[in-house]
A and B are shown apart, each in its own frame.
Chain A
């Protein structure tokens, strides 16, 4: 047995770095806090790699099964004999994989930001928040129990809020950060209810106990039902609402596009690679429970994922803001992951969907972070987010161009880039389980290729722009992460992922299913060539199509008016209809009775003040009266007993 207690440093180091950057405020030189941030995340990354190496290759496996290891544990609050909250570190294939993903992307973003955020006021604040986020995210994946996960879940939400609103002088940034916080917080309420419900019926928060396939929850689930569904389905469904909020699943996705108001590296880290997949991670974490106890809830997961994948991809085809396109593509890809989980079974070949989902999470993190950082590099050069302001950039920014192209090919699912392998597994899993979901996924794959290459051609090819200042390639510090991530996007697809991560911890051999892969590649290529035909050179074809589609295009462009629907519902129905009457009740009934109570309290307070007269004789009189009063009270009490 190896000693895993050093894992705790993976949490402590970024937290200390957060304190170091945050506490002195502006007194510290901002470059110092940046350097400390980078150094600390570098050491976290090294620790994570060591952990991954020794877990996957040295001692994680016993009898061919990857074990669930409690690296450290600490009882925080003990509610009752059975129910307690622990703070600890749980190592299993998915958490170790997430450690690698988070620390890698976070390291890249830390380095990249050094140059991207250079000269910003609030540079130190930025690094403080980044460290806080990294700490919370690592704590989330290492959580040994639902409650710990919930705590870090909220911390992640807070740091995301802080980073989206980083430019707090911009009203749109403030609005976006509030929107993100409120929407996810609303979803988290469902999560909390789910946790409480589950804990009430199972008396535990612990993941290992809950997901044990021989444990009481799975072999002997609670029979209670509520409104036609079992309470456990309710609980798991509510927990999924939390996950859907963080992962921007329809209809809780509305915050993610606006969250692009934050600095671009932040979008790469939080809103593409790590935080938004927390929902996927949560479902994967509780997967055996979903599958064996609450299959209905898992069905919801699958369809929510499939619908979101399609919905977001359609919207992505119509957007003009480079970061928003990427945001919708993120939603679409996360929809993929959810879908894959939803169609998965448990154990052996049946668990293909689970493996595929985690595999896609992993590869997606690499190429999506690359896309965002590349977009950041472009924005850095042309000082605009709109693809209308860009064009022909391949001449000015060769390295950004090549790396961006690699990422686009990866997300479009063209072999041999990473996205192909993971997407193929998802398609296979969907094909075996549910033909409808498969056709959605298949269609979305082509759509993805189209909108990504629409973006690519508009930005790097297309018409010649008259730039004020000729754009130039970004500095080396920004290029370096791009190159590293591009290498990762090329190579990670070849990792035999099933060897490491599978639903039951046993090795799962995977091979490419060419009968599904070939049509998918063909479809993706169609998408790419269509995009090329429209956007490589400046033609009227695209506007013609747009005009021909007319209302449909406008619909999609306006994101199907969902924001407006929400606004209408909150403003007209909730605020005016419900809230106003409640407010009246609150003001005139509740407040008034509280005021009355306060008046009475004040009245007594006034009256009673007289007793504090200042004369010692009176005090002793009270003393004696009190003693004797108590004696009488006890005797009376005994008598009535």
Chain B
């Protein structure tokens, strides 16, 4: 193995370097007030470096695989994390976080390392390692406001559920090992023939991923954790953690479990219908905006599954494209909600009555985000949904399309509720004018630009499509 081979895994190496640097700084400085700026600057550099073109390759004896689609996925995640970091400034600078600011970023970046390893895994052990690197610190993040009961409750629930899910998943992996005698993806995939034991293994394994993406009925942890965790962490959960899991999901389904396609398509069908419908039904009645976004993100995951069920290339491309747009939309919505809840600790939809009068810019951003989530043209979300739907249609699942269309209509209703509250409902005591801090503003601007531009950039979709042929 060559020393230059290490360059193939530069995403992981750079992130590890960042963790180490922050660790050293933390040890040698007494004041951590600037932690967020350090983190943002370092991570910004890493994000930029991520876009340097790289080669396809396998190292560590096929344990680690990289190619341009995987690099693109990591870059998309990086952009999302960058926005999350920008949004975290407000919350992390609060006095109760004093002394544990560096820690927050250490933990957050560690989970990202784990996700990157999962994406690049070439073998189930590597994959599992990545999964655990990603999940255990995530639970710590959920409990970061430990003085708040809800936050600690979220952490506990997360770790318990995650442990259970890991156990089931490991059981699935062990069954797979039992039938194939190896853990390498490349060696397993030709041996998959669809016998009952393998199906059992597959379902247990997939349950673990479904847990991460919070598909129904593996989603129950989501609302509790989303509500309890600090808002920054919630947006990280709902966007980055979920996006990474979706990426891994499609990679595995289309590579390792390719032979099982006639078995997993009905499963995805079922999960998609359940997830869209149940997610919507829950979201319909939520009053707390964070909880509302949590349930709506469950429903969104159901839509994502539509792309997976479509034909391979366009389906994959539409999923990656959708995740990119979803990152912008959800982070725009969460960004506004977190600014408001940090400044005023108001979180219900009713609190937003008359919000437009006092905070026109923030309400416009929130409106754009919600429009995009609902899929209203010309915002990017429309194009994302459009490609997902057309991929389902081209695969010939018209009933699924019909159910999805109904769900999209239902979701339109509840996405418009906050918009109505902000712009139409009258309120004598609306939330006062909020001055958000510059980094949070930057984050929102990035989101808005992304929302307005990605939809029109047809090249982007074509580019992703061309990459998804390579996998």
Contact = CB atoms under 8 A, between A and B. Distances in A.
Interface of A: 74-80, 601-602, 604-606, 608-609, 611-612, 614, 616, 618-620, 622-627, 629-631, 633-635, 637-638
B282 A634 contact: no
Contact of B282 (A608, A616, A618): A608
A626 B218 contact: yes
Given A609-B285, A627-B207, A630-B203, A75 B168 contact: no
B164 interface: yes
Contact of B218 (A74, A75, A623): A623
23 contacts: A74-B458, A74-B459, A75-B458, A608-B278, A608-B281, A608-B282, A612-B223, A619-B157, A620-B164, A623-B161, A623-B165, A623-B168, A623-B217, A623-B218, A623-B220, A624-B168, A627-B204, A629-B217, A630-B271, A631-B200, A631-B203, A633-B270, A637-B263
Nearest to A606: B285
Contacts of A634: 199, 203, 263, 266-267
A627 B220 contact: no
Contact of A601 (B161, B164, B284): B284
B410 interface: yes
B270 A635 contact: no
A602 B216 CA distance: 19
Interface string B129-171: 0000000000000000000000000001100110011001000
B196 interface: yes
Contacts of B270: 630, 633
Interface of B is mostly: helix
Given A74-B458, A75-B462, A634-B266, A620 B161 contact: yes
B90 interface: no
Contacts of B177: none
B78 to A, nearest CB: 27
Interface in B389-445: 390, 394, 410
A599 to B, nearest CB: 12
Given A619-B221, A627-B203, A627-B204, A77 B458 contact: yes
Contacts of A77: 383, 458
Contacts of B281: 601, 604-605, 608
Contact of B462 (A78, A620, A631): A78
Given A606-B285, A608-B281, A627-B168, A638 B263 contact: yes
Contacts, number: 92
B164 A609 contact: no
Interface string B269-305: 0110000001001101100000000000000000000
Interface string B183-208: 00000000000001001100110010
A93 B284 CA distance: 57
A605 B204 CA distance: 29
B217 A76 contact: no
Nearest to B202: A634
B342 interface: no
Contacts of A601: 281, 284, 410
Contacts of A629: 217
B224 interface: yes
8 nearest CB pairs, A to B: A619-B220, A626-B217, A627-B207, A605-B281, A76-B458, A605-B284, A622-B217, A631-B203
Contacts of A79: 390
Nearest to B284: A605
B211 interface: yes
Looking at B160, B203, B220, B410, which has the most chain A CB atoms within 10 Å of its CB? B220
Contacts of A620: 160-161, 164
Contacts of A78: 458, 462
B49 interface: no
B456 interface: yes
Interface of B: 156-157, 160-161, 164-165, 168, 196, 199-200, 203-204, 207, 211, 216-218, 220-221, 223-224, 263, 266-267, 270-271, 278, 281-282, 284-285, 383, 390, 394, 410, 456, 458-459, 462
Given A623-B207, A623-B220, A612 B282 contact: yes
B53 to A, nearest CB: 23
Nearest to A628: B203
Looking at B168, B217, B271, B278, which has the most chain A CB atoms within 10 Å of its CB? B217
Contacts of B459: 74-75
A623 B199 contact: no
A541 to B, nearest CB: 60
A604 B267 CA distance: 24
Contacts of B203: 627, 630-631, 634
B220 A611 contact: yes
Contact of B285 (A74, A605, A626, A637): A605
Contacts of B200: 631
B157 A616 contact: yes
Nearest to B278: A608
B285 A622 contact: no
A635 B194 CA distance: 11
Given A78-B462, A630-B203, A638-B263, A605 B217 contact: no
Given A609-B282, A625-B217, 5 more contacts: A78-B458, A622-B220, A630-B270, A630-B271, A634-B267
Contact of B211 (A605, A623, A625, A630): A623
A428 B168 CA distance: 87
A622 to B, nearest CB: 5
Given A612-B220, A616-B157, A623-B211, A633 B168 contact: no
A605 B267 contact: no
A614 B224 contact: yes
A638 to B, nearest CB: 7
Nearest to B221: A619
Contact of A616 (B161, B223, B394): B161
Contacts of A609: 282, 285
Contacts of B160: 616, 620
Contacts of B211: 623
B458 A605 contact: no
A619 B200 CA distance: 21
Contacts of B458: 74-78
A626 B165 CA distance: 12
B354 to A, nearest CB: 21
Contacts of A637: 263, 266
A603 to B, nearest CB: 10
Nearest to A86: B458
Contacts of A612: 220, 223-224, 282
A94 to B, nearest CB: 27
Contact of B199 (A606, A616, A624, A635): A635
Nearest to A611: B220
Nearest to A74: B458
A611 B270 CA distance: 19
A601 B161 CA distance: 29
Contacts of A622: 217-218, 220
B87 to A, nearest CB: 24
A605 B292 CA distance: 13
A633 B218 contact: no
